[in-house]
Amino acid sequence: MKILHLVPLFVLAACSGQDVGNSANASASSSATDGGWEPAESGTEIPAALANADLPQVGQQNPRAPKISGPSYKASREAQFHFETEAISDAELKEFYVEMDITIDAEEVGTMTFVLWGDEAPIAVRNFLRYADEGYYDSNSFHRIVRDFMLQGGSANKLGGGAAPYPSIKEEFSRDPKRRHRYGVLSMAHTGQVDSASSQFFVITETRSPSTQSLNGKYSTFGIMIHGVSTLERIADIPTTLRGREKSNPTQKALISECRVFRGEPSVEREIIERPDMDLGGEAERIRIQHVLISFKGTRTAATRSKEEAKALANEILKRAQSGEDFDALVKEFTDDPSGKTTTPPGTYSMLNHGCFPPVEETEKLMALQVAIEGLRDELMAKVAAKELTNPDAGKIFNESAEVKAMQNAQMASWLNRADMVAAFGDVGFALEVGEINMSQYDITSSPFGWHIIRRYE
């Protein structure tokens, strides 16, 4: 079945089953109760709506750090400035900057230089400088990389786990435009709980991502890169594999070989800090297509025909489609993608090219829905806590609300990233002009579900 995908900000409940013919990710599932609200245990916190209530959740996409347990720890080098003491006042913190030398698979690729917002986020800045001053980040890795979102590092075991040596810090959230999350900004990762940030940090690699926009006021930004765009891009472009349902596990080792602390004005030339434009080779940024999937027994579909029969049928449908036969009718009659028969027009998909994003107005609409849904959730949770509503009643109101239904509708029409599709699907689709029809051939790697007859209509 078609998995409900949406721009990275949102994580919604999936339809049952697996993708057939479009997504590279096999499946997704929900673990919440049937009512959409998990009942609170006696004496525990207010219950929260979970995934199968179709509540958009930021958590799975946001940078996270492990919980603190406080192991024994010895600094890897003698601290120069001792930020844990009063030797450096809060007023002086803005005088410091850091340089990170980066290697990828032991190859030196460059240095990133960051200035820090000591006046605006003194707690986060002092915390980060203390770790850097003691050499904690030396030989640490960027263990989580999401090309169109952020890269994350600073974990105790260099793989995203382990407990940080010092206590967690108080958050310094802000919606100040200066401190908004954007390309090159440093921000503190946390567990999702209040005041749980510790050693892990992340660097934003794409301003336009809805996931990035969702972080403001929820994560503590404390600095920005002033030099090293090419180095940041080298890290962000490392190929990744799936980590759970997120494609963020780097296939190459990106290490901070050394993180140095300096006092004074940075000696490097300040760069324009923005992501370089993608070279799409003349392809469109976004396309909308229809497709007919012709599959065969042995693929992850319900098809029972043989491979040979599927190939012959696919060639026949391609010929009929290119001769002008009604494509909608062909989808409804032949496609082996069940979700293709429920969309309007039938078999439709909206795809984003590499490094491209939905139209701004669509993202703004989704963000407004997100805020409305969060407001409704908070209101209902308060009523449950005050015993004005039961959990089941609150869940029913939530699931049947206009806000949630609007989000579900937006989800069905959402844009899919080309990188998340099987390769041949995007390769053929983006090669088409509007109105053209072509077919991707079955290939165990690039088109494992069968043959796709694809028509671009926008």
Residues 230 and 308 in one domain: no
Do 106 and 179 fall into the same domain?
Answer: yes
Judgement on whether residues 152 and 201 belong to the same structural domain of the protein: yes
- What DSSP string runs through 388-407? SS-HHHHHHHHHTSHHHHHH
Give the residue ranges of DSSP H helices in 327-390. Answer: 327-334, 360-385
Residue 107 forms part of a structural domain: yes
Exposed/middle/buried for 39, CB within 10 Å: 0-12, 13-18, 19+?
Answer: middle
Tally of structural domains, the chain: 2
Same domain, 116 and 230: yes
| Residue 398 vs residues 7, 47, 48, 236, 344: alpha-carbon distances, Å | 22, 13, 11, 38, 26
Name 416's bridge partners: 351
Q: Which domain holds residue 206?
A: 90-263
One domain, residues 311 and 420: yes
Q: What is the pLDDT of residue 4?
A: 25
How many residues does this entry show for the chain? 458
The confidence score (pLDDT) of residue 168 equals: 94
- Per run of 10 residues, the mean pLDDT along the chain (length 458 residues) is 29 28 36 29 28 27 38 82 94 98 98 98 97 97 94 90 90 94 96 91 92 91 98 96 88 98 97 92 94 94 95 98 97 91 88 86 82 90 94 92 85 80 90 97 92 96
Contacts of 297 (CB under 8 A, 6+ apart): 303, 304, 305, 306, 307
Output the pLDDT for position 416: 86
Residue pair 54/399 in contact (Cβ under 8 Å)? The answer is yes
**For position 28, what pLDDT does the model report?**
26
Q: Is residue 252 assigned to a domain?
A: yes
pTM greater than 0.75 (yes/no): no
pLDDT at 244: 85
- The pLDDT tens digits of the residues spanning 362-412 come to 877 888 888 899 899 999 999 999 999 999 999 999 999 999 888 877 776
Is 222 a member of any domain? yes
Does residue 337 sit in the same domain as residue 423? yes
pLDDT of residue 362: 82
The residue assigned the tokens 């336009």 is 208
Q: Is residue 271 part of a domain?
A: no
Q: For 184, what's the count of Cα atoms within 13 Å in the CB-facing half-sphere? A: 21
Residues 116 and 234 in one domain: yes
Q: What is the pLDDT of residue 72?
A: 66
> 186 and 105 in one domain?
yes
- Are 352 and 451 contained in the same domain? yes
Query: Is 109 among the domain residues?
Result: yes
20 touches 293 (CB < 8 A): yes
Q: Please indicate, yes or no, if residue 14 is contained in any of the structural domains.
A: no
- Compute CA 448 distance to the chain's CA centroid, rounded to the nearest angstrom: 25
Q: What is the CATH number of the domain that holds 107?
A: 2.40.100.10
Inside any domain, residue 102: yes
Supply the DSSP string of 186-250, one letter for each residue: EEE---SSTT-B-S-EEEE--SS-HHHHTTTTTS-EEEEEEE-HHHHHHHHTS-EEEETTEEEEE
Residues 167 and 302 in one domain: no
Distance of CA 1 to CAs 16, 18, 426, Å?
7, 5, 19
User: Has residue 379 been placed in a domain?
Assistant: no
Domain shared by 205 and 239, yes or no: yes
| CATH code assigned at 443 | 3.10.50.40
Q: Which of 246, 291, 242, 288 lies closest to 20 in space, CA to CA?
A: 291
Residues 321 and 209 in one domain: no
User: CA-to-CA distance for 133 and 76, rounded, in angstroms?
Assistant: 10
